[in-house]
Amino acid sequence: MPDEVEYHPTIKELPEAERPRERLKLYGPGALSTAELLAIILRTGVEGESVLALASRLIARYGGLVGLAGADFADLCAEKGVGPAKAAQLKAAFELGRRLLVASPQERPLVRSPADAANLLMLEMGFLAKEHLKTVLLDSKNRVLGIPTICVGGLNIAAVQVGEIFREAIKANAAAIIVVHNHPSGDPTPSPEDIVLTRQIVQAGELLGIEVLDHIIIGQQRYVSLRERRMGFD
């Protein structure tokens, strides 16, 4: 006897009160599970799999929302039931969430500690397949002005041109910066090159009058503050 195929009811087959959009209208987005929220973004499933099942599968496949947010666009496109359109919808939703953090001056997050800075970027950078270097630009009250990407992938971080790190900070008239980069291996332990680069950045900041508050390395759900460890901050 052939194996039975698991059946997933479509959204339309669910009782109206159990459909994600209806539940959102009735109870607000906070009442929905992560899978339900993703299902609203994805809109449709694939043959033999409801959109809720698709959302649940993606969450499991990438180890949660953090992993899904950091998934490569091409990998998402290759997932059954996703494709370029849904992958773009997911990437756009995650990017909007990130930008909301710095949407208006009065709502800009304050960075009071290395954990504050790491939490701003952990979701985005913790599972990236390539090395990214960003700077968190801060005003005189340590409010975030922006988080530009300085360079991406396939390079030795220690070979980064220090001047490029300060270019956006000068444009934004930032009072201070925090340098952040990820280790795709998932291990945020600083390398000797990371420490040398940190020392060079700190010295350049002193010459430019822009304080370098920290250099943070992000791994998978972990981070290291070089200032806390007194590496490169003499």
CATH for 106-225 is: 3.40.140.10
Q: What is the dihedral of CA 105, 148, 133, 210, to 10 degrees?
A: -70
Q: What is the structure's pLDDT at 19?
A: 80
Q: What is the structure's pLDDT at 50?
A: 85
pTM of the model: 0.61
- What is the length of the chain? 234
Domains of the chain, residue spans = 11-100, 106-225
Q: What is the structure's pLDDT at 7?
A: 45
Instruction: Round to whole Å and give the CA distance between 13 and 21.
Output: 14
Q: What is the structure's pLDDT at 17?
A: 61
Q: What is the structure's pLDDT at 64?
A: 80
3-state helix, strand, coil in the chain (%, to 5): 45, 15, 35
CATH 1.10.150 correct for 11-100 = yes
pLDDT single digits (tens) 156-194: 555 577 888 999 999 999 999 999 999 998 899 999 989
Beta carbons within 10 angstroms of residue 159's beta carbon: 9
List the chain pLDDT tens, one digit each, 234 residues.
444 445 455 666 666 667 888 888 888 887 888 888 999 999 888 887 888 889 999 988 888 877 888 888 999 999 999 999 999 999 999 888 777 765 555 567 789 999 999 988 887 788 788 899 999 999 999 999 888 888 887 555 555 778 889 999 999 999 999 999 999 988 999 999 899 999 999 999 999 999 999 999 999 888 999 999 999 998
